[in-house]
Amino acid sequence: MKLRLKALVGACALSLVAGLAVAQDLAPLNSDTEADRIEWSALQQKFGEVPKAAEGTRVGGVSKTLTNEYWRSLGEGYQAYADKAGVEVVYQAAQSEGDQLGQLSIAENLISQGFNALLFSPQTDSNLQPALESAKSQNIPVINVNDAVIPSAEHYVGNVQRDNGMRVAQWFLENRPQGGKVAVIEGQAGVFAAGQRTAGFTQTVTEGGKFEVVASVPGNWDRQVAYDAASTVLQQNPDLVGFYANNDGMALGVVEAVKAAGLQDKVVVFGTDGISDAYASIRAGELTGTVDSFPVLTGEVAMEAALRLLGGQDLPRVVSTPQALITKDNVESFAVKGDALREVLLKQAAN
- Dump pLDDT digits (tens) for 20-49: 434 447 899 999 999 999 999 999 999 999
Note the pLDDT of residue 2.
40
Q: pLDDT for 72-121, tens place per residue?
A: 999 999 999 999 999 999 999 999 999 999 999 999 999 999 999 999 99
Mean pLDDT of the chain, nearest integer:
93
Has residue 346 been placed in a domain? no
CATH number for position 38: 3.40.50.2300
What percentage of the chain reaches a pLDDT higher than 70? 93
Question: What is the residue range of 286's domain?
Answer: 161-292
With bands split at pLDDT 50, 70 and 90, how would you rate the model's confidence at 190? confident
Both 137 and 219 in a single domain? no
**Residue 82 C-alpha from the chain's centroid:** 21
Both 221 and 79 in a single domain? no
Has residue 339 been placed in a domain? no
Q: Are 225 and 217 in contact (CB under 8 A)?
A: no
Both 197 and 278 in a single domain? yes
Note the pLDDT of residue 25.
74
Average pLDDT score over residue span 234-247: 98
Both 170 and 280 in a single domain? yes
Both 94 and 149 in a single domain? yes
Which is more confidently placed, 227 or 10?
A: 227
| Distance between CA atoms of residues 333 and 114, nearest Å | 42
Q: pLDDT for 336-351, tens place per residue?
A: 999 999 999 999 998 8
Per DSSP, what are the bridge partners of residue 270? 244, 289
User: What's the number of domains the chain is made of?
Assistant: 2
E strand or H helix that includes residue 17: helix 2-22
Least Cα distance to 244 among 284, 293, 208, 287 occurs for: 287
Average pLDDT score over residue span 294-323: 98
Burial class (CB in 10 A: 0-12, 13-18, 19+), 293: buried
**What's the pTM?**
0.92
Task: Identify each DSSP E strand in the chain by its residue range.
Answer: 37-39, 58-63, 88-93, 117-120, 142-145, 156-158, 180-186, 211-218, 240-245, 268-273, 289-292, 318-320, 324-326
The distance in angstroms from the start CA to the end CA of the chain is 52
Least Cα distance to 107 among 88, 95, 96, 91 occurs for: 91
Question: In the Cβ-directed half-sphere of 293, how many Cα atoms lie within 13 Å?
Answer: 31
